[in-house]
Amino acid sequence: MHPVFDVLKKDERDQLRSRTDQRFESPMLATLTHDFFSDKNWIYERKLDGERCIAKNDGSPVKLLSRNHKDITVSYPEVRDALSRQGAPSFLVDGEIVAFEDGVSSFSALQSRMHVKDEDEARQTGIRVFYYIFDVLYVDGYDVTQIALRSRKSLLRKLFMYESPLRYTQHRNEDGIAYYHEACAKGWEGIIAKDARSAYVQTRSRKWLKFKCIHQQEFVIGGYTEPGGKRTGFGALLLGYYNEDELRYAGKVGTGFDEKLLATLGSTLLSLERSRSPFSDEVDERGVHWVEPTLVAEVGFTEWTSHGKLRHPRFLGLRRDKPAHDVIREEGGT
């Protein structure tokens, strides 16, 4: 057994399961809650606004995978290179790739890296990225998902030398409410509360909870309006979320776009046009063009109105790591 396991107690080492393959179905996902709390059995981490990334080293070159198994290595070659230089045993680790703007992680700032398809282009963007690693699923032939989170983090800390762009995700113990208020005061998106005794499960769980300072989530693009005045590309995006098999209309977003994005996204929307609305609700907008509901947008907003629409929405970027049909309305306790 590799020396990295020395950080574990004997009973924890007994929980390790020998496994030759590094099976990965989906990452563990947190549930949104508005019931904030402090608890000595929980830890609290900063919620980062970036792209979820599973890093895999199985003896072949290191791969970076999105939450839906897309190979995203070409977008972040410096992260792959840093992991490859570690000399670590085989591993499967979970984390978030982020870019910062004024000291705050910014999904918008990451956009210039997320959608490139060439390593040299990725390096030349000038957008500096970091890989914040917060969990580990597999090490040197062993599945470690069944040992407690606090012990997995001890194992993770010893697994790598955390040199840029790699970062070990620090956590606070016990005092979640104070950390939440601190996060909001700093302009962060929020924090993630995690049961320190929990196993890693490859689904959404209430053992991980989101304490959000701001409203932000994914929406499906179901159409767009024609541009007005001197604007090009499109006017606003028509947004929705799935409730079972119905795409429910959530409103439109017309801010957060620069000229380049208006042109490139406008061209993509044109190629996806269809004759019928994909929404189950009536959409009362002028100059509407419907599109196949395949694109997913990240949107910030102030609140939901009493009519179930977004108030003051702002486009943050396109997501590539979540299938459109998985997009639902996030609400506390769901």
Would you say residue 334 has pLDDT above 50? no
The verdict on residue 76 lying in a domain is yes
In a domain, 27, yes or no: yes
Together in a domain, 114 and 259: no
Q: Which of 40, 47, 158, 260 is catalytic?
A: 47
Q: Is residue 253 part of a domain?
A: yes
16 plus 98 within the same structural domain: yes
Tell whether 7 and 128 lie within a shared domain: yes
> Could you tell me if residue 309 is inside a domain?
yes
Quick check: is 177 in a domain? no
**pLDDT tens digit string along 145-171?**
999 999 999 999 999 999 999 999 999
pLDDT for 270-302, tens place per residue?
Answer: 999 999 999 999 999 999 999 999 999 999 998
| Domain end call among 139, 171, 203 | 171
pLDDT for res 332: 58
Which residue, chain included where needed, has tokens 């070409």? Answer: 74
- Identify whether residues 154 and 220 lie together within a single domain: no
How far from each other are the two terminal CA atoms of the chain, in whole angstroms? 41
Give pTM, 2 decimals.
Answer: 0.85
- 310 and 251 within one domain: yes
Where among 171, 188, 206 does a domain terminate? 171
Mean of all residue pLDDT scores within the chain: 94
* 193: in domain: no
pLDDT tens for 56-80 read 998 889 999 999 999 999 999 999 9
Domain residue limits at 304: 215-326
Instruction: For residue 75, give the CATH number of its domain.
Output: 3.30.470.30
167-201 b/e with 16+ CB inside 10 Å = b? bbbebbeeebeebbeebbeeebbbbbbbbbebbbb
Do 19 and 141 lie in one domain? The reply is yes
* Residue/partner pairs of 306-315 with CB below 8 Å, 24 or more apart: 308/248, 308/250, 309/249, 309/250, 309/251, 310/239, 310/250, 310/251, 310/253, 313/239, 313/251, 313/252, 313/253, 313/255, 314/253, 314/255, 314/256, 315/237, 315/253, 315/255, 315/256, 315/257
pLDDT digits (tens, 9 = 90+) for 181-240: 999 999 899 999 999 999 999 999 999 999 999 889 999 999 999 998 889 999 999 999
Question: Is 127 found in the same domain as 230?
Answer: no
pLDDT tens digits for range 18-62: 988 888 889 999 999 999 999 999 999 999 999 999 999 988 899
- Tell whether 120 is covered by a domain: yes
- Whether residues 13 and 161 share a domain: the answer is yes
CATH for 269: 2.40.50.140
Percent of residues in the chain assigned helix, strand, coil, to nearest 5:
20, 35, 40
Is 70 exceeded by the pLDDT of residue 333? Answer: no
> pLDDT, tens digit, for every residue of 231-251?
999 999 999 999 999 999 999
Give the residue from 137, 171, 205 where a domain finishes. Answer: 171
**Residue 331 pLDDT exceeds 80:** no
Residues 164 and 59 grouped into a single domain = yes
249, 145: one domain: no
**Residue 252 catalytic?**
no
Q: What pLDDT, on a 0 to 100 scale, did the predictor assign at position 229?
A: 87
Q: Are 79 and 167 in the same domain?
A: yes
| The token pair that represents 112 in the structure block | 């210039």
Examine the domain organization and report whether 237 and 151 are in the same domain. no
What is the mean predicted confidence (pLDDT) over 84-97? 93
Contact 113, 129 (CB under 8 A): yes
Give how many domains the chain has, as a whole number: 2
Band the pLDDT of 87: cuts 50, 70, 90.
Answer: confident
Q: Is residue 332 part of a domain?
A: no
